Amino acid sequence: MSKIITLRKGLDINLAGVAAKQCKQLPMASEYGISPLDFEGVTPKLLVKVGDEVKAGTPLFFNKADERILFTSPVSGVVAAINRGEKRKVLSVTVTPAEKQTYEEFPKLDVKKASREEVVELLLKSGLWPMIQQRPYGIIANPSDQPKAIFISAFDTAPLAPDYDFVLAAERANIEAGIALLGRLTEGKVHLSLPTVAPVMSQVEGAETHIFKGKHPAGNVGVQIHHIDPVNKGEVVWTVNIQDVAIIGRLATEGKVNMCKTIALAGSEVEAPQYYNVISGARIDSIVAGKLKQQQEGDSVRLISGNVLTGAKRAENEFLGYYANQLTVIPEGDKFELFGWMMPRFKKFSVSRAYFSWLCPKKEYKLDTNLNGGERPFVVSGLYEQYLPMDIYPVYLLKACMAGDIDKMENLGIYEVIEEDIALCEFVDPSKIEMQQVLRDGINLMIKEA
């Protein structure tokens, strides 16, 4: 039995609209898309044009900075559009799926014996390599690096997050294959972090397991790394989402790119929140059609690919993100509120006892996207530390990021955190500072200067 690591800091935001534990297969979406914007620091170079026929696993574009890293189509069909934004920046490459799915052929590997080169090549060619991210920086791993270890979190503590123990109940074999395969990539260990209760995940073999107990962000892999084997200057570790581990395992055993995944469709504006089987990159409106609550005149909803703390805002005609395991729908908060800051605000949530939500800890909240105030400089202190269970001073780190002070950023722990780790700090911040963006700008500066 592994030792239990208890984290006292953190916060579980009790949102309405938890996905019920039922799963339904969704029909093929009208379109699938992959967006270079899902990946930090990727400048796409296209390999297809509109009208090209592709199979599942056919490369659509690669990263200009590293030609080895390919991004492949999740389905077979015809390239429908290459959507561009300002300065012809590629926003997404879309594929209209064919009736009958065909797959690119990839070699099946013996996950226990394959050489590192074979594994790297398979993952690169199949377009699954981007699933491996590195710390520091939270970017796609560099295939030439020798990571100190590989970390996988078997649970997600974010609000309305999918319960992987339910989602991946039938995927145990694939996960084990994936872990074995990833094990070929490092001379160090593959760490798997479990929650206290996980009857399925705790059966998974082949990795060093750790048990974490605590509120969000206990499920964040970054927090887990900090407590298991922290990243120091000059070190690199890799992280992979648990569902992606299953997809990698599937690739090795089936020899084809099968991007099926189970996502949670959750949030207060979903009629009956539950799980759905989809293919990665599905168009959002194909997923949510007919499943959202009727909105009143003047109201609208926010569609989030991912969770409410770190996800990306998506329009109906955009696509489920590459890394997303949930789709959250909450009300937009584009409303004025008369004397809001003086009111008791029983329906809103605050960690501050200046409001009353601390009196009803069990209550489920239907929170909207209103910023609830204006941006101010940092004023309060001692608040943010309570939501970051790491030995890091978030405000000092963020101020170093704002000042662009490389040495300070390095000293204060920028190698250990990415946006998701400070998302709660951003949530509770009464100064309404965009901390995740500040941190990302700091990280990008580090990458540029290094």
Interactions with another protein, residue window 392-421 (CB under 8 A): 392-393, 395-396, 411-413, 419
At a CB cut-off of 8 Å and minimum separation 6, what does 10 contact?
157, 214, 215, 216, 217, 218, 387, 389, 424
Q: Does 385 sit near another protein (CB under 8 A)?
A: yes
Binding test (CB under 8 A) with another protein, winner from 367, 398, 401, 446: 367
Q: CA-to-CA distance for 93 and 74, rounded, in angstroms?
A: 11
Segment lying near another protein (by CB under 8 A), choices 72-80, 176-184, 203-211, 388-396: 388-396
Judge contact between 42 and 63, C-beta under 8 A.
yes
Q: CA-to-CA distance for 92 and 90, rounded, in angstroms?
A: 6
Judge contact between 249 and 173, C-beta under 8 A.
yes
Residues 12-41 touching another protein, rule: CB under 8 A, are 13, 15
Q: CA-to-CA distance for 439 and 414, rounded, in angstroms?
A: 8
Name the β-bridge partners of 90.
84
Binding test (CB under 8 A) with another protein, winner from 370, 405, 406, 444: 370
Least Å from the CB of residue 381 to another protein: 4
**Nearer to another protein among residue 1 and residue 338 (C-beta):** 338
Residues 265-324 touching another protein, rule: CB under 8 A, are 302, 304, 308-313
**Nearer to another protein among residue 23 and residue 428 (C-beta):** 428
Pick from 135, 45, 83: nearest CA to 420? 135
Pick from 70, 50, 54, 52: nearest CA to 62? 70
Least Å from the CB of residue 423 to another protein: 5
Q: Cα 430 to chain center, whole Å?
A: 25
How many CA within 13 A on the CB side of residue 297?
0
Name the β-bridge partners of 180.
none
How much is the CA Rg of the chain, to the nearest whole Å?
A: 21
Q: Does 372 sit near another protein (CB under 8 A)?
A: yes
Size of site (CB under 8 A) for another protein: 75
Q: Does 427 sit near another protein (CB under 8 A)?
A: yes
Helix or strand (DSSP H, E) at 449: helix 435-449
Least Å from the CB of residue 410 to another protein: 9
Query: In 3-state terms, what secondary structure has residue 395?
Result: helix
List phi, psi (to 5°) of 109.
Answer: -110, 145
Q: Does 51 sit near another protein (CB under 8 A)?
A: no
Binding test (CB under 8 A) with another protein, winner from 25, 294, 296, 381: 381
**Nearer to another protein among residue 99 and residue 407 (C-beta):** 407
**Nearer to another protein among residue 107 and residue 373 (C-beta):** 373
Q: Does 341 sit near another protein (CB under 8 A)?
A: yes
Q: For the purposes of burial, counting CB atoms within 10 Å of the CB of 272, is it exposed (0-12), middle (13-18) or buried (19 or more)?
A: exposed
- Sequence letter at residue 54: V
Binding test (CB under 8 A) with another protein, winner from 83, 102, 350, 444: 350
**Nearer to another protein among residue 150 and residue 304 (C-beta):** 304
Name the β-bridge partners of 212.
5
Binding test (CB under 8 A) with another protein, winner from 49, 88, 113, 233: 233
Binding test (CB under 8 A) with another protein, winner from 104, 171, 318, 368: 368
Q: Does 388 sit near another protein (CB under 8 A)?
A: no
The two three-digit tokens of residue 133, written as one number:
């991210």
Residues 159-198 touching another protein, rule: CB under 8 A, are 159
Least Å from the CB of residue 255 to another protein: 38
Least Å from the CB of residue 369 to another protein: 4
Binding test (CB under 8 A) with another protein, winner from 108, 172, 291, 345: 345
**Nearer to another protein among residue 165 and residue 368 (C-beta):** 368
**Nearer to another protein among residue 103 and residue 365 (C-beta):** 365
Q: Does 356 sit near another protein (CB under 8 A)?
A: no
Q: CA-to-CA distance for 251 and 123, rounded, in angstroms?
A: 9
